[in-house]
Amino acid sequence: MTFYTFARSVVKGVLSPIYPIKTYGIENIPKEGGVLLCSNHINNLDPPIVGVATPRPVHFMAKEELFSVPVLGKIVGRLHAFPVKRGMSDREALRKGLGVLKDGNVLGLFPEGTRSKTGELGKGLAGAGFFALRTDAAVVPCAIIGPYKKFSRLKVVYGKPIDLSDLRKNKGTAEQATELIMDEIRKLINEYK
């Protein structure tokens, strides 16, 4: 048993009774190959919730500050997360993310870059579009829906992979790709809320 599998089962055991999770569209996550999993961000618990709900291990980009917290930093690193400097172009994090996808793994991103204070979907940053256009990874939108109130059900919804072939063919921009991704997340939120 890997550390990731062990930690996932512990986190699931702790979180599931407090925040029962109902998943929809799990069949939309390809069983193999690179997957760019893009989700809205409404709570600090979103990464573990998505990690528990997703059947494949997820490699998250995490804010650099987490890695300097004693003990937590080491644990986060062992859970396939890697640091990103927020508010600037972080070439090392971009390289690492591309590597995750090219190696056929799942890269989890919150395109808004930070938690929504209102719970409403914010504007996505170009990073999601960058990864979507630079690789052949399946781009799967994900919506976390719920109030994060104790013992209230949370929904994690996975949409069908987004067809970006036109954007790739016509040399679309990262911003255009991100807009398309955010639109699909918004549709999932509206359909399942």
Mean per-residue pLDDT, 13-29: 95
pLDDT value of residue 63: 85
Query: Dihedral angle at the C-alpha atoms of 142, 110, 75, 73, nearest 10 degrees?
Result: -170
pLDDT digits (tens, 9 = 90+) for 88-142: 678 999 999 999 999 999 999 999 988 998 889 999 999 999 999 999 999 999 9
Query: Which domains, and CATH codes, for the chain?
Result: 3-192 (3.40.1130.10)
pLDDT per residue over 22-77, tens digit each?
A: 999 999 999 999 999 999 999 999 999 999 999 999 999 988 888 988 888 888 88
Assign residue 182 a region (left: φ > 0; alpha: ψ between -120 and 50; beta: otherwise): alpha
The amino acid at residue 8 is R
| Burial readout 106-120 (b: 16 or more C-beta within 10 A, e: otherwise) | bbbbbbbbeeeeeee
Q: What is the pLDDT of residue 10?
A: 92
Q: Are 182 and 121 in contact (CB under 8 A)?
A: yes
Which pLDDT band, with edges at 50, 70 and 90, does 190 fall under?
very high
Rounded to two decimals, the pTM is 0.94
